Structure 1
Amino acid sequence: MYELKTKETDDSVIEFIERVENLKKREDAYRLLDIFTETTGHEAKMWGPSIIGFGSYHYVYKTGHEGEAPLVGFSPRKAKISLYFATGDPEREQLLESFGKHTSGKACVYINKVLDIDVEVLKDLIRQSVTFLQELYPKEQR
């Protein structure tokens, strides 16, 4: 049976951030921690060894695969900072147009530093992602 790798853990978010070697990236991680916490109203939790997540939702795919995932999150990786937002919402792409310097993959948006982006658009992306996922996967579904 498939074992989900990215699960919520009891590891310390602060200890994880303190282990980020690059000082500027560590400062950005603290800034993002404040922004995500304030915007979501959720306490930060570690998901797996390297993702800082906020809130959670229970998903069930058409294949029957199901699990828990953070509503939004980020990870200060060596190369870039990964931001995790919901995929599948066309509003996300619209918001990214005015987000600032970034690249994106299917599930992640990558930035070099917080100074490269519009923080107000980041807050909009966070709110949009949380709303989209809560509507897509309502709690009653459990």
Structure 2
Amino acid sequence: MDENKTKATDASIGDYIASRANAQQSDDCRDLMVLLEKVTEQSAKMWGPSIVGYGSYRYTYESGRTGEAPLTGFAIRGRELVLYLSVDSEQQQTLLSGLGKYKMGKSCLYFKQLADLDLAILEQLIRGSITELKQRYGE
């Protein structure tokens, strides 16, 4: 089986942000880091070359593939930031409706700036995502 390329590393988060972020993104990354550390009660670590992750969980897919991933985290993707969330439950979907201006992929919430989002709802989404992942894959 192929080895998972996204692993926790000792790379510098500051260097990552400085190399990718514009001024607005840099400010938003700092604010996201405060929020994510508060919610997860974990320190940030780089996961692979481009994800700032918090906490971790082990997963096993139906295919049998296993791995480890951050409970939540973010990345800088061009002009957007992406926050990694599980939003499968009805409650999470309801929260998304009041979040603000974003695009949602399978587990990727894309937005241009934090000012476009309701931060209280964002915090609830992050908490709900962590709960969903822990229920699905265990502590």
TM-score using structure 2 length: 0.94
Ranges of 4+ aligned residues in structure 1 off by more than 3 Å? none
1:53 correspondence with 2:53: yes
- Separation in 2 of the partners of 1:11 and 1:4? 17
Q: CA deviation at 1:63?
A: 1.2
Match of 1:138 in 2: 138
Q: CA deviation at 1:123?
A: 0.5
- Separation in 1 of the partners of 2:33 and 2:16? 12
1:14 correspondence with 2:14: yes
Decide whether the 8 Å contact of 1:44 with 1:52 is kept in 2.
yes
Match of 2:27 in 1: 27
Letter in 2 for 1:115: A
Q: For structure 1, list consecutive stretches of 5 or more residues without a partner in the other structure.
A: none
- Separation in 2 of the partners of 1:54 and 1:21? 19
Match of 2:71 in 1: 71
Letter in 2 for 1:86: S
Q: Deviations over 1:78-118 (max 9, x none)?
A: 12111100253332211110111001111201000000000
RMSD of aligned Cα (Å): 1.3
TM-score using structure 1 length: 0.92
1:62 correspondence with 2:62: yes
User: Which secondary structure does the structure 1 equivalent of 2:121 belong to?
Assistant: helix
Decide whether the 8 Å contact of 1:84 with 1:109 is kept in 2.
yes
- Separation in 2 of the partners of 1:105 and 1:25? 20
Q: Deviations over 1:59-87 (max 9, x none)?
A: 01121111001111111221211110025
- Number of paired residues? 139
- Separation in 1 of the partners of 2:85 and 2:72? 5
